[in-house]
Amino acid sequence: MPSTIIDRSSGLGIGAIANGENATISQKVPCRVATNANITLSGLQPIDAVSVVADDRVLIKGQADASENGIYLASPDVWQRTADCVDAGDLVKGSEVRVNEGSVGAGSYYCTSDDPIVIGTDDIIWVDVATTVLAGAEIKALYEAESNTNAFTDAAQTKVGHLTVTQAVDLDQMETDIAALSDGMVYRGNWDASAGTFPGTGAAQTGWFYYVSVAGTVDSIEFAVGDNLVATTDNASTTIFAGNWSKHDQTPSVVEDIDYDTRADLQAANVAPGINLVRIAGYTAVGDGGGASYQRAGSEPSHAGKIQSGDGAWWELAETTPTPQMFGAVADGTADDTTAIQAAIDYAESLVVNFTRGATVLFPPGGYFLSSTLTINSNQITIQGYGQASMLIRIANYGNLFTIVGPDPDNTKIIGIQLRDFYVLCKTNAVTTGALIDVTRASRMYISNVSLQDGFIGIHLNGCDNVWMTDVDIQIGQNYAALQSGSSNIRIDPWDNASAIRSQCSNIYMDNIQFKTDESDGFVEHALLVSGVDGLYIANSHLVFTKYAIRLRPFDNVANIQHIHFTNSYIDGNVEQSDYLLFVEDALTSPPHTG
């Protein structure tokens, strides 16, 4: 299979450089650090508590002259822009880059400058993703706060009483509940209501909201300075309010029964025609984690995030970061949550967030039982947990746990999938089929801080390219391969307990890997067993073994092992009991290189 080797400094594929092309416009190769203020673009210097060295990629985002912002290579001399962020077309609105280190600036950023961007001339603005969408610790904090504050307590009901309010009043709980409805939406700027039309020129998308900077009246709806206007449908009308927009008053005027305890309560309710946004405090019970906002829909939505109220109106989920609990998951380590999780993924695939298709499915802490395969087949989907507190438990011997596949068989790839911060455990001891993560025809995929326990195959990649794995822990017990791959350009950073790679692939890069095996592991012989690789690069790694430190063998009896490189790696075995540091079967077409 053709391959493109990604240079981690320039950010370009070697094949792309030769062709004068750049295949990494939307998702840039990660930077080591990011600046938070104006700096001199020359010389090696500490940035955000990190001492950069030559050829470190640095995201420059705080220059006084914003046209100097961009991605640079650190140098003892004058810094130069990286090869993937210097020419016309290299950077577009929505391009994203991850920053791996720094006391303040670590995280993900996307470019908000309008297209076309002329690098070196136009201002380049980078915005922290965490400030515009819910992610990481901020997601957890907002999620927990929302679960508590948005439930209608007896005290709040006493204070508000679900009354119609026709004048400005001071109701603390009302203000909290209404303000919370905007969590997860995307701020699009100020709006002058005196202009006579709604903003967005007919292209406003669901969840976009605007701050009213000048009072006015449009379609008989009065707006005051400080109000928020929220689009409730894609391509919202510039002249019609109903079914297109929701008004969040910052000076309360009319609020009537917009909160319900559960789905069942909303299903039984007759909602007034003027209400376009409602909230439930739980799926089946208040505070069960399924609380969410719903917006009025013109017809029955095609996804599972919907409720029909007692008056016959349809309501669809208005959340950009769905959780399985919003679709009925219990996460108690007992109930089967498969259907709810798949529904959350399907809903995420229908969203448009921050100029890219897809969204994040957030798994709050808990145990999620799975009895069948979960499928992802749309771009830009992120599965996000809270580390080992978010546990996916396989309870039966079926095929794959996750199947991630491109949309059709003509080599069209699924792009931008991310799997982050969760733990997979196979409860059954007789898993004999499938992979815990099975990926076909994917590009620019990222797997981070994921633990996989006791599967048949840990990760299977087929027809993929540009896959980056970091902090992955695979313990496959007595079964087969930790990684089975028929792909190219696989970048693996810290990885623990991966004893076997069974693959027909090219260009696997491993840095800072812990390969280990002992009598308690299924692979009691090999620290690293590799089948069929063209291009294996191992650096700064530690191999612990009992019989073979490294064993290289053909895949399907075809002579297909070549270009093997070992650099600065430590091999640890009992020499008296161990047979081989390096064992190569008769299919190596080029000798291994050590350094």
Higher pLDDT, 398 or 237: 237
Could you report the per-residue pLDDT of 240-253, keeping only the tens digit for each?
Answer: 998 888 887 654 33
- How far apart are alpha carbons 125 and 372 in whole angstroms? 44
Could you report the per-residue pLDDT of 193-223, keeping only the tens digit for each?
Answer: 999 999 989 988 887 778 788 889 999 888 8
Give every CB contact of residue 476 below 8 A, 6+ residues apart in sequence.
452, 454, 455, 456, 457, 458, 482, 497, 499, 500, 522, 523
Could you report the per-residue pLDDT of 518-577, keeping only the tens digit for each?
Answer: 444 444 455 566 666 667 777 777 666 556 667 676 655 555 667 777 777 766 655 444
**Tokens in use for 234?**
């894609």
**Tokens in use for 144?**
């927990």
pTM, full prediction: 0.54
Could you report the per-residue pLDDT of 291-319, keeping only the tens digit for each?
Answer: 999 999 999 999 999 999 999 999 999 98
- How far apart are alpha carbons 365 and 421 in whole angstroms? 11
Closest CA to 356 of 321, 383, 380: 380
Q: Where are the domains of the chain?
A: 1-130, 132-321, 346-594
Could you report the per-residue pLDDT of 246-290, keeping only the tens digit for each?
Answer: 887 654 333 334 689 999 999 999 887 778 889 999 999 988 999
Could you report the per-residue pLDDT of 79-121, keeping only the tens digit for each?
Answer: 999 988 888 888 888 788 888 888 888 887 878 888 888 999 9
**Tokens in use for 388?**
């080992």
- How far apart are alpha carbons 181 and 537 in whole angstroms? 50
Q: Which helix (H) or strand (E) holds 340?
A: helix 338-349
Q: What is the average pLDDT score of the chain?
A: 74
pLDDT band at residue 436 using 50, 70 and 90 as cut-offs: confident
Could you report the per-residue pLDDT of 484-512, keeping only the tens digit for each?
Answer: 655 566 666 555 544 555 555 566 766 66
pLDDT at 547: 63
Q: Which CATH number fits domain 346-594: 2.160.20.10, 3.40.50.300, 3.40.50.620, 2.40.50.100?
A: 2.160.20.10
> Which stretches of 10-55 are assigned E, i.e. beta strand?
33-34, 46-47, 50-51
pLDDT at 164: 38
Could you report the per-residue pLDDT of 116-152, keeping only the tens digit for each?
Answer: 889 999 999 988 765 544 444 443 454 454 444 443 3
pLDDT at 341: 97
pLDDT at 342: 96
Higher pLDDT, 496 or 387: 387
